[in-house]
Structure 1
Amino acid sequence: MADMMRPIAPPNLPGLVKAAFDKARASGEVSYYPTQVAVLTPGSIPFQLRFSPALAQKPKAPKPKEPNAKPFNPFENPSPAMLIADLPPSHRLVLNKFAIIPEHFILVTRDFKPQTHVLEKSDIAATFACIEDYRTGGQELFAFFNSGPHSGASQPHRHLQLLPVERMKDGLDDVKNGGQWNVLAERLAESKEGLPFQVFTTSMHQNMSAEERHGAYLDLYRHAVNAVFPDGEVSSEGEAQISYNLAMTSASMALCPRTAEGMMIRNKSGEDIGVVSLNGTVLAGTALVKNEAEWDALRDNPDMLLDVFKGIGLSH
């Protein structure tokens, strides 16, 4: 009975997303920030680094005018220009207002639910409905979730983010090692060699039930909590006990416990030049910097990324 109520993504979701993105970008509802890109190989892992100086000027969300007023929630009542489609019974799809990857979109709960709570079966099912819709059309989606203060999460209203993998490859044809890059979460399902932080992974397959997919997520979550708190009890609902990132593709699921959002990097003279912050796209094998000093330093010494990785998660 439970699977009879499973979410079904609208037909031709890739086309709907592209049309909504193009229209919203043309009208100024969505801000698109072009990037320069390089593929680095710290510890032999092809890792995509993007540089967007304009993103440093991204406007901040308006602050409440009254001291006790609740903060602005962009997902509570999205404008028609940002809404892609409803995903009954409990979710909707909206565009990401500030995009560095074209056609970046977001799955949000219709009713407010906390970003810091353990995901429910409906959240996982709705995400995989979108992934399957893309896969049926011959495309791949990378989905990720940021939860907790060290994860890169920025909005308290529960949401998972979705990136078309082909659009994540924009610009890679023209850069060194570009052909070596693919989604890290899928590599990790085969081997974690060279990865300096702990990630828990499992394989997905098309015929899994909603209960099986949610059970796979809960298993990864329990392993991650036990890695942070070896002697603690793990609750499978309510407030999450750790900060973590979750990644999902049609073939894999990966969960990374987080201990910090980012790490300071230094130039050759030992001077601090900026904090490299990472969210769930770290499990895609991508990172973003907003100033030229960071961009230059990491390309000069890609292994500095290994130090960042060691600082944001649990060592093996």
Structure 2
Amino acid sequence: MAEMGRPVAPPNLPALVKAAFDKARVSGDITYYPTQVAVLTPGSIAFQLRYAPSLALKPKAPKPKEPNGKPFNPFENPSPAMLVAELPPSHRLVLNKFAIVPEHFILVTREFKPQTHVLEKDDIDATFACIQAYRGVGQDLFAFFNSGPHSGASQPHRHLQLLPVASMRTGLEDVDRGSQWNVLADTLTGSSKTLPFNVFTRSIRPDMSAEERHSAYLELYRHAVKAVYPDIEAHDEGEAQISYNFAMTGSTMALCPRTAEGVMLKNKSGEDIGQVSLNGTVLAGTALVKNQAEWDALREDPDVLLHVLGGISVSP
């Protein structure tokens, strides 16, 4: 039986998300960007690289404002077309308006809370409830959180992003080495895998209490703060002291301290060809590029990816 006041996700959540996504795609309420995909295997990792040329054409319109002059907040009063479900008492689920992965949806706080603050127990609990709803029908969900200027964060209203793992595999069945890709975070706990960026991991179990899961997140956050600022004591609430990405699956939590959002790629002549920026999907082992030169450079020499990954965090 659920504890009083704890968020409970609808057991048919995967079907709700699919129905909402399909309907919003047909009506034009969301934009789905098709991608080409490759799997790169530099070092000991299998990394999924996606190329979305249409993203480069996305118009950079000025950010809309409310009538009172405040920046528009898409999470404050989502339209019915974007709403997937309410998760009382503290959260709701909405579709991602610009989707690279089918059925990409977002967990947002019903009241405005800052994206730059340390996550609270209810944030972790509501996220895990969604993961469990997917597991209940034999599916996996990858959740990630971007916090701070170097993390890939774009909205100030607190939100975690949720990607069905089956959707993340779209196109991989036709790709060389496609079967080698698995969610990176799940391969890290207890492994000797060496990564070019710093990441802290912790195994989690379905029978953990909400307090235990939140404590596990805080423990990872404290390790990450110490990695960036060895002499600073981490705070368990309020404004985060570092930029970071956090990820959660049914069995793993992972947290990566971030010191840069991306790295400039150069061609063999040493000329700049584009900035590769990464967000929390790096903890799934995925990256996205928007132009042909970046796509070609990374596929021609997968070790260039190690250079990109090594530039986003403190050394492990």
Alignment TM-score, normalising by the size of structure 1 = 0.97
1:47-67 alpha-carbon deviations (Å, 9 max, x no partner): 000000001122446435699
Measured in 1, the distance between the counterparts of 2:11 and 2:2 equals 22
Q: How far did residue 190 of structure 1 move?
A: 3.0
Q: Does 1:52 align with 2:52?
A: yes
Q: How far did residue 196 of structure 1 move?
A: 0.9
> Is residue 143–residue 247 contact of structure 1 (8 Å, CA) maintained in 2?
yes
Measured in 1, the distance between the counterparts of 2:256 and 2:199 equals 5
Measured in 1, the distance between the counterparts of 2:163 and 2:202 equals 20
1:158-194 alpha-carbon deviations (Å, 9 max, x no partner): 0000000001001101111100000000011132523
Alignment of 1:231-270 (within 5 A): 231-270=231-270
Matching residue of 2:109 = 109
Change (3 A) 1:121 1:105: same
Amino acid at match of 1:287: A
Measured in 2, the distance between the counterparts of 1:68 and 1:198 equals 42
Measured in 2, the distance between the counterparts of 1:134 and 1:61 equals 36
Matching residue of 1:284 = 284
1:97-127 alpha-carbon deviations (Å, 9 max, x no partner): 0001000000000000000000000000000
Measured in 1, the distance between the counterparts of 2:35 and 2:234 equals 41
> Is residue 144–residue 246 contact of structure 1 (8 Å, CA) maintained in 2?
yes
> What is the aligned-residue RMSD (CA, Å)?
1.6
> Is residue 108–residue 157 contact of structure 2 (8 Å, CA) maintained in 1?
yes
Measured in 1, the distance between the counterparts of 2:162 and 2:168 equals 11
3-state DSSP of counterpart to 2:260: coil
> Is residue 185–residue 284 contact of structure 1 (8 Å, CA) maintained in 2?
yes
Change (3 A) 1:124 1:229: same
> Is residue 62–residue 72 contact of structure 1 (8 Å, CA) maintained in 2?
no
3-state DSSP of counterpart to 1:11: coil
Measured in 2, the distance between the counterparts of 1:236 and 1:2 equals 26
Alignment of 1:129-278 (within 5 A): 129-278=129-278
Change (3 A) 1:92 1:68: closer
Q: How far did residue 70 of structure 1 move?
A: 1.4
Measured in 2, the distance between the counterparts of 1:96 and 1:57 equals 19
Q: How far did residue 22 of structure 1 move?
A: 0.1
Matching residue of 1:75 = 75
> Is residue 61–residue 72 contact of structure 1 (8 Å, CA) maintained in 2?
no
Measured in 1, the distance between the counterparts of 2:258 and 2:63 equals 28
Measured in 1, the distance between the counterparts of 2:301 and 2:127 equals 36
Change (3 A) 1:75 1:171: same
In structure 2, runs of 5+ residues without a counterpart are: none
Q: How far did residue 68 of structure 1 move?
A: 8.0
1:199-240 alpha-carbon deviations (Å, 9 max, x no partner): 000001010100000000000000110111111111100000
Measured in 2, the distance between the counterparts of 1:158 and 1:47 equals 28
> Is residue 3–residue 210 contact of structure 1 (8 Å, CA) maintained in 2?
no
1:5-38 alpha-carbon deviations (Å, 9 max, x no partner): 2110012000000000000000000100000000
Amino acid at match of 1:187: T
1:226-283 alpha-carbon deviations (Å, 9 max, x no partner): 1111111111000000000000000000000000000001112211100000000000
Matching residue of 2:43 = 43
> Is residue 200–residue 255 contact of structure 1 (8 Å, CA) maintained in 2?
yes
Measured in 2, the distance between the counterparts of 1:66 and 1:256 equals 34
Measured in 2, the distance between the counterparts of 1:19 and 1:64 equals 28
Of residues 185-194 and 89-98 in structure 1, the stretch that sits farther from structure 2 once superposed is 185-194
Q: How many residues align?
A: 316
> Is residue 263–residue 277 contact of structure 1 (8 Å, CA) maintained in 2?
yes
1:115-142 alpha-carbon deviations (Å, 9 max, x no partner): 0000000000000000000001100000
